[in-house]
Every structure is written in structure tokens, then in C-alpha cells.
Amino acid sequence: MIKAVRGFKDILPGESEKWAYLENLARKFFLSYGFREIRLPILEKTELFARSLGEATDIVEKEMYTFIDRQKESLTLRPEATAGICRAVIENGLYAQGKILKLFTIGPMFRHERPQRGRLRQFHQLNAEVFGSNAPGTDAELIALALDILDAGGARGLRLEINSLGCPVCRPAFREALKKFLTGLREKLCEDCQRRVERNPLRVLDCKRQECQSLYVDAPRLEDFLCPACKEHYLSVLKDLETLNITYVKNPRLVRGLDYYVRTTFEIKAPDLGAQDTVAAGGRYDGLVKALGGPDIPGVGFAIGLERFLLIAELPEDLSPPLDLFVAALGEEARRLVLPLVRNLRRHGLMVDLDHEGRSLKAQLKQANRLRARFALIIGEKELQEGKVLLRDMTTGAQEPLAQAELESALLKRLLA
């Protein structure tokens, strides 16, 4: 038997309703916050990710699904959405000077990581990005949006962690200070961090190993190095959050895995998730669009991981609604009689099903029960001859005869009530 690829999961009926529920909920919030949907290819040129994420990131170094296609071009299954959205914004000229562009997208991402709870190789994200706004209010609004979506999905006990990564003006000094701090610790660091010290020292702060993290407790803090403009920006974001009654925790060691982040960076954590506790993450990437060959427009956004969201979501009990009506037609003549009726009722939005297999009445009523039908319509030979049908209330068992003439309107009246 051929099995699915490791880390790639089927989303089966029973689960898929939950996915649809959360996606619809997110969609509503995106629209109410003024975002419009963009749908992107899942395949991009490898160079796009190498350029935008940075060569010395976990994703580019070891997590991408990259292959050479038949034209000998290197292509990559997208590991995240922001790079593709930036590419599309530039390529399609979506940006006009002075215009704010708010985009969202929902879909799968691919990273070759070790699969475990809350970590897959194909996973799914809800993404929101805003282009053209430098204003700290935009950052706070995005954080509010992410929290509102998670909250509406029933996620509780969330913890918002926030930091500012500074900008190309102030970050170099921090980088140097951090490098200096790290040289003393060199031997004690994990292999990955040792490499990071040279190539991308900020990234050590993102190391997943507790041993490393405990060494970084006394590391220099980004906040102490922020230039006045970055400092003011950061304080304004925090002030907006306070105005919105959003609780936050400043985390001076919060850096994002991706190189292009500047200033605001944040993560939303859910303690119930265990080791993979970050359900959403985001931040500002002001230089990215320009670095990809576009105009110099700022950007800020976030991604919510849908698998992790599902693990902490509180969903309504029954997401697959019961059937409105099961039509039990006995015999071919009866079945033919109800075919157009069933179709018309469905076209009115009612959930209706029927049996094409010629099963017995008993079997059909059993099927109706299994589908949790509110009503069953019974039409056998006797009913055919008498020009009527029986409408059975499946909860009470009460049966009511209905005339075959005007049957559709009689049913609509009862079922739509």
C-alpha cells in the first residue's frame, strides 16, 4: 500500500469541518479589518526565498523543499507566504504611492522539519500583510487582528510577547555588542549557535536549546540600542496596545527566524501547546520589498499556524449540521418521482439526501437516522397509488400524510420554518 509522505497529513471529514470553521472565521475578521484576499502559487523560484529570508536562516539552510525542474530551474515549495506576497505586489504593481495595501491569504506551507505535535512538513497558515504604512498603529492593529481571530476561535490563555529589532541604523551596534558577548561563550554554545556567531549572531537568541538560552540571559538587550526613531516607534506600538487593552510581555530576546524583520516583532504563545507553543508570529519587514526589486515601501504582517490554532481552539459541538430531509423512495417509479423534488429542495439550500440503491424501508430509515435527518419522506407503492406521501418526524416518530400535488411547497413551508 502506498502511504502519504511523512509529515504530510490528510484532513478527513470530521476534521475538515473544523478547518472550514476556523478559515471562515478568520476570513470574516480579515474582511472586517479591511483586508482583501490574494491567492498565490505554492511554487516559486528558489532565489525568491534565498534572497528574502536570508541565506543563514534555518529555513533556507535546511528546511526548504527545493528541486530542479525539467527546464533545469531551481524551484521551491513555499516555506512561508510573505516572500511570495511581496513578489506578487511588485510583479503586479499592486502598490501605488501613498496607498495602504492590506492583503490576506490562507494556505499550505512546506518545511522539511522533524514532524511532531504542532509541527508538520506541510502545514497551513493564515497570513495578513500590510504594505505602505510606517505607522506604529498599523503594527498594533495587526496584533489586535491576530488576537481577535484566535480569541473568536476559543483560544484562551494566550501570551503576547513583543520586541523591537531596531533598524539598519541601530542594529549594527547591537550586533557587535552581542558578538563580543558571545565570543566569551564560544565553547559552551551548540554547533548551530557557533556557526551563527559568525554568520548571523542575532539568530543565536532564537536557538531552541535550553542550554543555549540559559547562557543568553545576560546578553545585551536590543532595547538598549534602539535609535530614537525606533524607540519612539516601539513605544507607540506599546501605547496603542495599552489603549486597546491588550496585555503584552516585552521579550528582549525575541528575534524572528527571518532576516528581513525590523522594528516590531511579536509572537503569540499558547501554554497549552507544549513545546511548539507559538501559534502566531509576525513583525515588520520595511526593507524587503525594495530588496526584492520593488519600490521602497514598508511592510508588516503576521502568520497564524492553523494546525496549532486547531489544537487550542474551542469549537462549537456540532460542526456538521444534521440533514433536513431524507427521502426514502421505495421502488424505481417512486425514485424517479422524487428526483426533481430532491434537486429543487437542495437548490433552496436544504440538506437533502436519498437512496439510489433500492434498499428496504428499514435500511433507508436507518440511513436517515445515521445522517441525523430531521424528517424522512416515505413514498412506496401504496403511497404512489394513493397520490400521497408520508412525512415522518424523525424525533417524535409522528407521520403526516401529504398530497403529492403541491408537495414541494408543502415541504418548503415545513422545512424552512
Binding site residue list: 80-82, 111, 125, 129, 256, 260-261
Is there binding between residue 303 and ligand ATP (CB under 6 A)?
Answer: yes
Is there binding between residue 119 and ligand ATP (CB under 6 A)?
Answer: yes
Considering the complex, state which of residue 305 and residue 338 has its C-beta at the smaller distance from ligand ATP. 305
Is there binding between residue 278 and ligand ATP (CB under 6 A)?
Answer: yes
Scanning 33-122, the segments in alpha helix (DSSP H) are: 46-53, 58, 82-91
Interatomic CA distance for residues 215 and 218, integer angstroms: 7
Entry field: residues in the chain: 417
Residue in 222, 280, 328, 345 binding ligand ATP, rule: CB under 6 A: 280
Longest Cα pair distance anywhere in the chain, in angstroms? Answer: 95
Is there binding between residue 145 and ligand ATP (CB under 6 A)?
Answer: no
Interatomic CA distance for residues 155 and 122, integer angstroms: 22
Scanning 92-170, the segments in alpha helix (DSSP H) are: 136-152
Nearest residue by C-beta to ligand ATP? 305
Is there binding between residue 80 and ligand ATP (CB under 6 A)?
Answer: yes
Is there binding between residue 307 and ligand ATP (CB under 6 A)?
Answer: yes
| Binding positions for ligand ATP, 42-71, rule CB under 6 A | none
Considering the complex, state which of residue 84 and residue 305 has its C-beta at the smaller distance from ligand ATP. 305
What 235-244 contacts at long range (C-beta under 8 Å, 24+ apart), as own/partner pairs, is 236/136, 236/137, 237/136, 237/139, 237/140, 237/162, 237/164, 237/264, 238/162, 240/136, 240/137, 240/139, 240/140, 240/141, 241/140, 241/143, 241/144, 241/160, 241/162, 244/140, 244/144
Residue 312's closest CA among 110, 149, 80? 149
State the minimum distance, in angstroms, from the CB of residue 379 to ligand ATP: 50
- Angle, helices 228-243 vs 136-152, to 10°: value is 40
State the minimum distance, in angstroms, from the CB of residue 290 to ligand ATP: 22
- Cβ-based neighbour number of residue 36 at 10 Å: 11
Span near ligand ATP by CB under 6 A; candidates 70-78, 92-100, 118-126, 214-222 = 118-126
State the minimum distance, in angstroms, from the CB of residue 115 to ligand ATP: 8
Strand-pair partners of 304: 126, 280
State the minimum distance, in angstroms, from the CB of residue 365 to ligand ATP: 44
- Judged by CB under 6 A, the number of residues near ligand ATP is 18
Is there binding between residue 257 and ligand ATP (CB under 6 A)?
Answer: yes
Residue 300's closest CA among 82, 42, 80? 82
Is there binding between residue 203 and ligand ATP (CB under 6 A)?
Answer: no
Point out the annotated binding site for L-histidine: 80-82, 111, 125, 129, 256, 260-261
Q: Are the C-beta atoms of 279 and 308 separated by less than 8 Å?
A: yes
Is there binding between residue 260 and ligand ATP (CB under 6 A)?
Answer: no
Residues that bind ligand ATP (CB under 6 A): 80, 111, 113, 118-120, 123, 125, 257, 276, 278-281, 303, 305, 307-308
